[in-house]
């Protein structure tokens, strides 16, 4: 069977995906690696089919929403919990709401208002984050927006506005917002900037067809740019790393509260590697992980091969296999040491 491989850039939607591709797709769209059942379901399946499956899942949109909330810095005490935003993933999955409309809803939320208090901050952030406008060189527009925020009617970004909610509506529905959204989402997924011409074309399409977002993303994830992202690996965000390490050790994602507490702690370091290492060791030492102990391993070599595939998306080299098998089959916590070494490696962080 023809497989997408880490070094292969000639894409064929009918070709099957390997562990590296599946891991990258799940990390980017679900915010975690595949569960065991998902690996069994999707490994070796055509890329196009897997993308269709993933975009049909509510949890894909739940991850999308988390990424957007993080983009708007609606985290920690500003994180909307138990609000009407909770319904967004379900509505996005059913197609009763578009990505642009979901962003508009975020801009209208109490959390967004609390995060960005006052006319100057609020209008500045709306202009910057919805439309990518450099406000320092658009002071006049800012002043009109601030007036609208305070209830004075004006023409803000080409449309009439006379309230705080009008400011959000105008910016969220502006053609610049569509172009800016496709640019930043393309970069988020491929880890590469979008060519200006492509951004203009895709932005125009999204502005004209607001429901085209999923199709655009599927195109990007079947592109050479995405194949390059899979090939070179991409540094996991702290939130994704927290979920990944739980899935890779315990077969299930952590609760939202645990994810946020650990993500917040990791975000507090310029270089999160030391704390990631600590967390990996805490989880390995804790009860409930599936790290087998030495006597439990019947075939240490096969286990090492499987662990490399699952955690790094590749087979071990001969030298790696020999060294890791030697430790895994040795006395004491050999398998735990193998898992700890892999989980704290820079390669694991760049799935």
Residue 244 touches other proteins, criterion: CB under 8 A: no
Near other proteins by CB under 8 A: residue from 283, 307, 311, 343: 283
The CB-of-178 to other proteins minimum distance in angstroms stands at 19
Q: Which two tokens stand for residue 317?
A: 């080299």
Most distant CA pair in the chain: distance in Å? 76
The CB-of-283 to other proteins minimum distance in angstroms stands at 7
Q: Find all residues with CB under 8 Å of 239, minimum gap 6, and list them.
A: 31, 66, 70, 259, 263
Residue 268 touches other proteins, criterion: CB under 8 A: yes
C-beta pairs of 182-187 under 8 Å, 24+ apart in sequence: 182/206, 182/216, 183/132, 184/71, 184/132, 185/217, 186/220, 186/225
Q: For residues 203, 103, 240 and 16, what is the CA-based torsion angle, rounded to 10 degrees?
A: -40
Could you give the CA distance from residue 99 to residue 116 in angstroms, rounded to a whole number? 22
Stretch 45-84 residues interacting with other proteins (CB under 8 A) = 71-73, 75-76
Residue 155 touches other proteins, criterion: CB under 8 A: no
Interface region with other proteins, contact rule CB under 8 A, candidates 80-88, 204-212, 221-229, 342-350: 342-350
Residue 138 touches other proteins, criterion: CB under 8 A: no
Residue 110 touches other proteins, criterion: CB under 8 A: no
Residue 315 touches other proteins, criterion: CB under 8 A: no
Q: Which residue has the tokens 């590469």?
A: 192
Near other proteins by CB under 8 A: residue from 81, 153, 235, 273: 273
Q: Which two tokens stand for residue 346?
A: 């820079």
Q: What backbone torsions phi and psi does residue 22 show, to the nearest 5 degrees?
A: -65, -40
> What is the C-alpha R_g of the chain?
23
Interface region with other proteins, contact rule CB under 8 A, candidates 89-97, 121-129, 244-252, 292-300: 121-129
Residue 128 touches other proteins, criterion: CB under 8 A: yes
Q: Which is nearer to other proteins, 174 or 221 (CB)?
A: 174
Residue 117 touches other proteins, criterion: CB under 8 A: yes
Q: Which two tokens stand for residue 154?
A: 């004006």
Q: Find all residues with CB under 8 Å of 137, minimum gap 6, and list them.
A: none
Could you give the CA distance from residue 145 to residue 163 in angstroms, rounded to a whole number? 9
Q: Which two tokens stand for residue 142?
A: 């800012």
Residue 310 touches other proteins, criterion: CB under 8 A: no
Q: Which is nearer to other proteins, 210 or 305 (CB)?
A: 305
Q: Which is nearer to other proteins, 2 or 261 (CB)?
A: 261
Q: Which is nearer to other proteins, 184 or 201 (CB)?
A: 184
CB atoms within 10 A of CB 81: 10
- Residue length, the chain? 351
Binding-site residue total for other proteins (CB under 8 A)?
60
Please check whether residue 42 is in contact with residue 17, taking contact to mean a CB–CB distance below 8 angstroms.
yes
Residue 119 touches other proteins, criterion: CB under 8 A: yes
- Which residues are bridge partners to 156 per DSSP? 159
Residue 106 touches other proteins, criterion: CB under 8 A: no
The CB-of-22 to other proteins minimum distance in angstroms stands at 22
Residue 343 touches other proteins, criterion: CB under 8 A: no
Near other proteins by CB under 8 A: residue from 163, 222, 277, 329: 277
Residue 291 touches other proteins, criterion: CB under 8 A: no
Could you give the CA distance from residue 228 to residue 9 in angstroms, rounded to a whole number? 7
Near other proteins by CB under 8 A: residue from 63, 146, 179, 229: 146
Measured CA angle at 89 (ends 206, 92), to 5 deg: 35
Near other proteins by CB under 8 A: residue from 235, 251, 286, 302: 286
According to DSSP, residue 18 is labeled -
Q: Which two tokens stand for residue 269?
A: 């370091």
Point out which residues bind other proteins (CB under 8 A).
71-73, 75-76, 115-121, 124-125, 128-129, 134-137, 146, 257-258, 260-262, 264-265, 267-271, 273-275, 277-278, 281-286, 319-320, 323-324, 327, 330, 332-334, 337-338, 340-342, 345, 347
């Amino acid at each position: 069977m023809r497989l997408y491989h880490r070094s292969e850039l000639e894409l064929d939607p009918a070709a099957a995906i390997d562990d590296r591709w599946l891991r990258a797709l799940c990390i980017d769209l679900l915010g975690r690696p595949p569960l065991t059942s998902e690996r069994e379901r999707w490994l070796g399946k055509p890329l196009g089919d897997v993308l269709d499956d993933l975009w049909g899942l509510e949890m894909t949109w739940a991850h999308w929403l988390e990424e957007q909330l993080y983009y708007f810095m609606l985290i920690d005490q500003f994180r909307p919990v138990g609000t009407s935003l909770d319904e967004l993933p379900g509505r996005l999955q059913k197609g009763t709401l578009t990505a642009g409309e979901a962003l508009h809803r975020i801009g209208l939320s109490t959390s967004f208002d609390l995060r960005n208090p006052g006319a100057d901050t609020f209008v500045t952030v709306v202009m910057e984050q919805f439309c990518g406008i450099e406000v320092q060189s658009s002071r006049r527009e800012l002043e009109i927006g601030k007036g609208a925020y305070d209830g004075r009617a004006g023409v803000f970004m080409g449309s009439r506005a006379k309230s705080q909610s009008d400011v959000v509506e105008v910016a969220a529905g502006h053609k610049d917002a569509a172009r800016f959204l496709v640019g930043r989402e393309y970069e988020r997924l491929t880890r590469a900037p979008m060519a200006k011409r492509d951004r203009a074309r895709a932005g125009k399409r999204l502005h004209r067809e607001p429901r085209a977002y999923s199709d655009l993303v599927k195109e990007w994830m079947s592109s050479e740019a995405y194949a390059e992202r899979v090939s070179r690996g991409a540094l996991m965000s702290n939130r994704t790393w927290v979920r990944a390490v739980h899935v890779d050790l315990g077969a299930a994602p952590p609760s939202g509260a645990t994810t946020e507490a650990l993500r917040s702690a990791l975000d507090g370091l310029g270089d999160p590697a030391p704390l990631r290492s600590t967390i990996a060791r805490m989880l390995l030492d804790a009860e409930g992980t599936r790290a087998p102990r030495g006597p439990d391993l019947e075939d240490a070599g096969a286990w090492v091969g499987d662990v490399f595939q699952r955690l790094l998306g590749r087979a071990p080299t001969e030298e790696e296999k020999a060294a890791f098998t030697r430790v895994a089959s040795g006395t004491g916590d050999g398998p735990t040491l193998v898992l700890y070494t892999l989980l704290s490696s820079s390669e694991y962080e760049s799935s």
